Amino acid sequence: MSSKLRSNFEEGSTRWAVRRAQWIAMGIDEADFDKPKIAVINSSSGLSVCYQHLDALSVVAQEAIKAAGGLAFEINTIAPSDFVTSAGKKARYLMPTRDLMVNDIEVMIEGAVLDGMILLSSCDKTTPAHLMAAARLNIPAIVVPCGYQLGGNCNGRSVDIEEVYKGIGTLLTGNMSLDDMKGWTRCAIQGPGVCAGLATANSMHCIAEALGMALPQTTPVRAGSDRLNAIVQAAGQQILQLVAKDIRPRDILTEAAFQNAVRVAVSIGCSVNTVRHLAAVSVEAGLDLDMVKMFETESAHFSLITQIRPNGPDRIEDLDRAGGTNAVLHRLKAQLNTGVQTVAGSTLAEILNEGVVVDEQVIRTVENPFRKEPGLTIIRGNIAPSGAIVKLSGIAVANRTFKGPARVYEEEDLAMQELAKGNIVAGDIVVLRMMGPVGGPGTVFACSFMAALSGAGLADTVAVVTDGELSGLNKGITIGQVMPEAACGGPLAIIEEGDVVEINLDERRIDLLIPEPVYQEKMCNWKMKDRVLENNWLKFYADNVMPIEKGAVFGKRN
């Protein structure tokens, strides 16, 4: 195998000589130089609990690679956290960090010419970034989702990060004391890992397995557990098999695999952000897929078979105990493309031939779903001609139609202030715009306002329509990722304060109720306001980011 490895340079060449000198000085045994060289991508950080445990897992991975006959190299990258890196510039740095990480990985892997990757994935942006990097570089790779955190108990009440997030609305409206909130923050997180619940991080962990890029029966998993250590060790061993057999990400990331992932996402009520992230992975995989259309098409044929928070009362650890993503795949088996390849070295059909015990109280059959509609769907209309995403599983069944006056804001803080003053009331439709990838620049948080609405008891009576970033923890009448975004001339840009907006979930429509000639005139006359951006990473992002329906990856915009 060693003679075929791209990492083994010609003896006597400059590259061979200087690298050899470097590695000898580092104490690497010369006998190891011809072995497969495997990167352990470690987005460790001391800023966030999401990454607190990754250094120890990296050691486990490196030792497993060595035991399996490989030479391991740890590579550290940036480590964005949605609850920490969101503090600066109204969270504008968050989405751009995903693509920065992809390029970070490319530079280190391709610059050094390594043979394979173990990608230790944690918070929201790391799993999609790792999938994107694997798709782009197309060298043998395994994504290892590194687990969820547990919540705690505060004065007899179960409290996790979702409760803290929503509680800000309760605090703003005077229905909770600051001391109570401080108490919640002391007990909301018990241990390392990503947010409890089926938010974006856990959603993307499950999606990685559904795509076949994570080992079977590995998601979700509790961070800090012996089981997670065993999963990392198994990945360290398996990556050598993928190198030997030359099984690459683009052998796995096929259109059929993406269909499987979308079917899982709509069936369990994953985060709305899975749409943009899967679109980005498909672009990096070189596929010409309309991911918005795929979600729209597939959602018509699937119903909600789990009710994991924020979609219902069950917790992420309940999904774990019930069999996790593997059990969901078993439930959907008849509706999946089971001939697809996986990083296990076997097909999905072979994986699903192995028996599994499924807890029907948590994961129902397709014949007996919790709700006879998908967890996610796409709606369109004259506000969202290219589509918008609705998490149906986060909306009360009774809320099928909604019509009201628009309250228009281009800064989330202003909307939060109006909410605190009591100026946003039942029946309003809050429009949060100029918050997309181009408009931000860098996608701006709209999710904190949605969480505050929930805490204020208004999530079922006030609708939110936005091109900004939502959280998988959000629930309520939320129309997210409106496409095209306002800054790209999308119709969201022409809505004025007091305009009537109508949402009809049964018909999958969202419309601005103004005469068609007026609508067309406004669309023709709208122009982006002049702005001067600082010469920094966000300006580079704004100048190069593709439309969000294309996953907001880098490229040339039309």
What whole-number distance in Å separates Cα of residue 496 and Cα of residue 544? Answer: 29
Q: Would you call 446 exposed, middle or buried from its count of C-beta atoms within 10 A (0-12, 13-18, 19+)?
A: buried
> Which residues, 6+ apart, have CB-to-CB distance to 103 below 8 Å?
none
371 three-class SS? strand
DSSP one-letter code for 430:
E
* Residue 9 phi, psi (nearest 5): -80, 160
Q: Tokens for 433?
A: 């715009």
> Which residues, 6+ apart, have CB-to-CB distance to 59 below 8 Å?
none
Name the catalytic one among 44, 45, 86, 471: 471
Q: Tokens for 312?
A: 């219902």
> Which residues, 6+ apart, have CB-to-CB distance to 188 below 8 Å?
151, 152, 154, 159, 160, 161, 163, 164
What whole-number distance in Å separates Cα of residue 334 and Cα of residue 340? Answer: 14
> Which residues, 6+ apart, have CB-to-CB distance to 319 below 8 Å?
198, 220, 268, 306, 308, 362, 363
Inter-residue contact 158 to 151 (CB < 8 Å): yes
* Residue 148 phi, psi (nearest 5): -105, 155
Inter-residue contact 416 to 517 (CB < 8 Å): no
Rg for the chain, CA atoms, rounded: 23
Quick one: which of 413, 420, 384 has its CA closest to 504?
Answer: 384
User: 10 Å Cβ neighbour count for 426?
Assistant: 10
Helices (H), 13-92: 14-25, 54-67
Q: Which residues pair with 158 in a beta bridge?
A: 153
Residue 471 is among the residues annotated as catalytic for this protein: yes
Q: Indicate which residues carry an active-site annotation.
A: 471
